[in-house]
Amino acid sequence: MLESCRLIFKGKRFVRLFIFIVVCLGFLIAVTILAGLTIFDRQHNHILHDYVARNDDIVVLSTTYYENSKSFPPSTAVILFNSVQVFHLKYSTLNVVAETMQGNVEVQFKIQPVINKIPFFCKWVPYLAVGQVPEDHVLLKLSTNKKDGMELSLRSPFQTPRKVVACFSPLFLNERWQLLLATVEIYSHYGAFMHFYVRSMITDLFKLIKENKNTRISPWPSIRIGESRAAPPMFDPNTELEFRNQASAMTDCLLQYKESAEFIVFPDPDDILVPVLGKNYHEEFTQAFNMFPTAGAIVYNMTQTSIESSTTPALYSPISLLASIKFKGEQRWGKLVVRPERVDSIWIHRSYSIKEGYEQKVMPVDVNAFYHLRIWKFPDYPTVNRSKISNPPYFDPYHLNATKRTVYNVSDGLKIQRKFKNRVSEGNMKAIYARLPKVSLYYPLIEVCYNRIFYSMKDIGTCRGPEYCNIPAFPGLRCTNVASEFVTYKSYRNIYIHQLISTDFEEGENGCTL
Ligand SMILES: *[C@@H]1O[C@H](CO)[C@@H](O)[C@H](O)[C@H]1NC(C)=O
Ligand SMILES: *[C@@H]1O[C@H](CO)[C@@H](O)[C@H](O)[C@H]1NC(C)=O
Ligand SMILES: *[C@@H]1O[C@H](CO)[C@@H](O)[C@H](O)[C@H]1NC(C)=O
Ligand SMILES: *[C@@H]1O[C@H](CO)[C@@H](O)[C@H](O)[C@H]1NC(C)=O
């Protein structure tokens, strides 16, 4: 390069200087573009490609209609959909036609990204489109022509008041009953109503969870785009969605409980929170938002722990998990609790759409933190007895012996234990509980696969999930899976619209699917 620049310098002075500058500039620009492209390429974010593409696919997951709302003007509809991560840079609105008795009214629905970060590891992300429609509409459709459109299937948000709702991120190939039963019992004891999104779960565990009056379980489908599509024929958008589309599930949950819940918390099932600012979650979160009056969302950090459990139902106890807890002295960035009228969408570690005037705050770890039940041990002879439950360890997130409070209050611990024992000895629950599996089939497979895809795939920044794991069928294994239906509409200008129109659980005998 320097050589060539020097050679050019031998010609006439000004021409030489001019050519020199042009060549060097050109070289600089080329290098920048190439470097940029390489980075984009390495991250498998074909952002430029998606940005210049003439046509796009969107997948509509839900449309919630709020007649009156604490968050939105009256008669507002909110569409939750997935598309490529540059979609909102190409389109600022979706065109909705409201059919009314007096004729059709066009409304521009404003698009907002749920994850406002580019480049994001995964090419596909969730969005909201929000618009106020005429009160007397008969139907709403996405349309850019006068003839037809994709009719939106509307739902209302839940109305039954709930003080605290826990929205858990989607569960798949789920068989770790020791974890889920403890989560349900503990969250239930401290006053949370739990909403689970399930892709697949062994049937006996599914039945045990479903019986609890404080839980609701929704099927969480993988998404599908039809044959008429903008994407290449073999492309599967699920491979480009973060962790089974979890940000969409969390936002879906927020939208459903926006009007009914006072607080909503968004944990994974292995994140256990024990209230310390009050007797239950409602008192805890009321105090927390008093500490941070301007908060829309509060992050509770996670403290890493190891616990002991049992492979045998007869020797298992949800509270002795917590009695065996050992703190690792490490913290991780945490999970959120929100006032639902102050945020419109949510992602696992933060909310990008906190309403104006509010912000995200962090709860100091020494006040309270989630116990992240990270490392599991299954000793041959676990000791579950009253004396162990009555002697819980101290909360010690930093290994400093700094607090003298126990990880749970003993009287709560004994109540949790008693309620659990009653639950699993009642009627047909007893037989189901007794036959829960001693051996994990999926857990080791997923572990091996994750080690492979997380440590051997060289590209940092690619979107990785269980879709890459080739999970085999297990004939004879009873599993509850999800069956769903999508329809495609191809006459919207430049956008293929795929909408989820039905989804339900299906019991099978051939193992769990993704
Ligand atoms: C929460 O955890 C993150 C990541 O470990 C850390 O940077 C942050 O300081 C913690 N926040 C508090 C309040 O402890
Ligand atoms: C109860 O558990 C404790 C601690 O794990 C153990 O030391 C004790 O021997 C157990 N007691 C009985 C009666 O099994
Ligand atoms: C904390 O307490 C335990 C037992 O009481 C003791 O073994 C340990 O050395 C203490 N750690 C610190 C950092 O003081
Ligand atoms: C445990 O909870 C009970 C009932 O809420 C309360 O009376 C008691 O003071 C608590 N004990 C401790 C050590 O916090």
Judge if the beta carbon of residue 304 lies within 6 A of ligand 4: no
Mean pLDDT over residues 98-111, rounded?
96
Residue 168 has pLDDT above 90, yes or no: yes
Q: Is the pLDDT of residue 412 over 70?
A: yes
Instruction: Tell me, in angstroms, the distance from the centre of ligand 1 to residue 332's CA.
Output: 6
Ligand 4: residue whose CA is nearest its atom 5: 279
Q: Which two tokens stand for residue 248?
A: 């969409």
What pLDDT is attached to residue 101? Answer: 93
- Is the Cβ–Cβ distance between 327 and 399 less than 8 Å? yes
Buried b (16+ CB within 10 A) or exposed e, 66-104: beebebbeebbbbbbbbbbbbbbebbeebbbbbbeeeee
Question: Would you state the pLDDT for residue 160?
Answer: 96
Position in ligand 4 atom list of the atom nearest CA 409: 1
Name the residue of 299, 331, 335, 360 to mutate for ligand 1: max ligand atoms within 8 A of Cβ: 331
From 46-50, 248-252, 478-482, the region with the lowest mean pLDDT:
46-50
37 and 184 in a single domain? The answer is no
**From the CA of 332, which ligand is nearest?**
1
Q: Cα of 22 to ligand 3 centre, how many Å?
A: 69
Task: Among 324, 385, 386, 389, name the best residue to mutate to test ligand 2's pocket (greatest count of ligand atoms within 8 A of Cβ).
Answer: 385
Mutation test residue for ligand 4: of 389, 407, 409, the one with most atoms within 8 Å of CB: 409
CA distances from 423 to 176, 186, 215, 259, 490 (A): 18, 13, 14, 31, 51
CA distance 155 to 256: 9
Whether residue 11 is predicted with pLDDT greater than 60 in this model: the reply is: no
- In this predicted model, what pLDDT tens digit does every residue of 323-381 receive, in sequence order? 999 999 999 999 999 999 999 999 998 999 999 999 999 999 999 999 999 999 988 77
Protein residue with its CA nearest to atom 12 in ligand 1: 364
Q: Is residue 385 in contact with ligand 2, taking CB distance under 6 Å? A: yes
Cβ(507)–Cβ(207) below 8 Å = no
pLDDT for 190 equals 98
- Is 260's pLDDT higher than 90? yes
Residue 39 shares a structural domain with residue 177: no
Pocket of ligand 2 contains residue 381 by CB under 6 Å:
no
393 lines ligand 2 (CB under 6 A): no
Which residue from 380, 387, 389, 417 has its CB within 8 A of the most atoms of ligand 2, so it is best to mutate? Answer: 387
User: Over the chain, what is the mean pLDDT?
Assistant: 90
| Confidence (pLDDT) at 383 | 66
Residue 131 lies in a domain: no
- The CATH number of residue 180's host domain is 3.90.550
Q: Is residue 49 pLDDT above 60, yes or no?
A: yes
In the chain, % of residues over pLDDT 70: 92
Residue 435 located in a structural domain: yes
**Cα of 116 from ligand 1 centre, angstroms:** 22
Per-residue pLDDT for 293 more than 90?
yes
pLDDT value of residue 456: 63
Q: Which whole number is the average pLDDT over 421-438?
A: 93
Final residue before a domain boundary, out of 431, 454, 477: 454
Output the CA 387–ligand 3 centroid distance in Å. 22
Asked if residue 170 and residue 36 are part of one domain, the reply reads no
**Rounded average pLDDT over 124-132:** 97
Q: What is the pLDDT of residue 44?
A: 52
Return the residue whose CA atom lies nearest to atom 10 of ligand 3.
Answer: 401
504 pairs with which residues across the strands? Answer: 483
pLDDT tens digit sequence for 201-256: 999 999 999 989 999 999 999 999 999 999 999 999 998 998 889 999 999 999 99
- Residue 258 · residue 69 · CB < 8 Å: yes
pLDDT of residue 24: 67
pLDDT category at 1 given cuts 50, 70, 90 is very low
Query: What pLDDT score was predicted for residue 379?
Result: 85
pLDDT digits (tens, 9 = 90+) for 441-460: 998 888 888 777 766 655 55
- Are residue 175 and residue 38 in the same domain, yes or no? no
Enumerate residues lining ligand 3, CB below 6 A. 399-401
Q: Which ligand 4 atom minimizes the distance to the CA of 406?
A: 13
Q: Which amino acid, 347?
A: W
**Pocket of ligand 1 contains residue 364 by CB under 6 Å:** yes
Nearest CA to ligand 3 atom 13: 400
454-481 average pLDDT score: 79
Domain-located, residue 327: yes
Mean local confidence (pLDDT), 29-56: 70
Question: Looking at ligand 4, which residue's alpha carbon is closest to its atom 1?
Answer: 409
Say if residue 169 is in the same domain as residue 36.
no
* pTM of the full structure: 0.89
Give the range of the structural domain holding residue 196, as residue numbers without chain letter. Answer: 162-454
Residue 476 domain-assigned?
no
Amino acid 255: pLDDT:
98
Q: What tens digit of pLDDT does each residue of 136-162 get?
A: 999 999 999 988 999 999 999 999 999
Is there a domain that residue 181 lies in?
Answer: yes
Task: Compare 15 and 289 and report the one with higher pLDDT.
Answer: 289
**pLDDT value, residue 462:** 72
Return the axis-axis angle of helices 203-211 and 177-189, rounded to nearest 10°. Answer: 10
- For residues 338, 209, 243, 466, the Cα torsion angle rounded to the nearest 10 degrees is 170
Q: Band the pLDDT of 26: cuts 50, 70, 90.
A: confident
Separation of alpha carbons 111 and 81, rounded Å: 10
pLDDT (0 to 100) of residue 495? 97
Confidence of residue 12 (pLDDT cuts 50, 70, 90): low
Task: Find the 415 Cα to ligand 4 centroid distance in Å.
Answer: 12
CB 398: neighbour CB atoms within 10 A?
A: 14
Are 301 and 367 within 8 A, CB to CB? no
Whether residue 45 is predicted with pLDDT greater than 90 in this model: the reply is no
For residue 368 and ligand 1, the question of a CB distance below 6 A is answered with no
Residues 219, 171: Cα–Cα separation, whole Å: 10
427 in any annotated domain: yes
Per-residue HEC secondary structure of 129-161 comes to EEEECCCCCCEEEECCCCCCCEECCEECCCCCC
Closest ligand 3 atom, residue 399 Cα: 13
Instruction: Please tell me the number of the ligand nearest to residue 278's CA.
Output: 4
Residue 167 and residue 316 share a domain? yes
For residue 364, the ligand 1 atom closest to its alpha carbon is 13
The answer to whether residue 428 is domain-embedded is yes
> What domain count does the chain have?
2
Can you tell me which atom of ligand 1 is nearest the CA of 363? 13
Residue of 190, 276, 411, 415 to test ligand 4 pocket, by largest number of atoms within 8 Å of CB: 411
Alpha carbon distance, N-terminus to C-terminus of the chain: 53
Lowest mean pLDDT among 101-105, 313-317, 460-464: 460-464
252 falls within a domain: yes
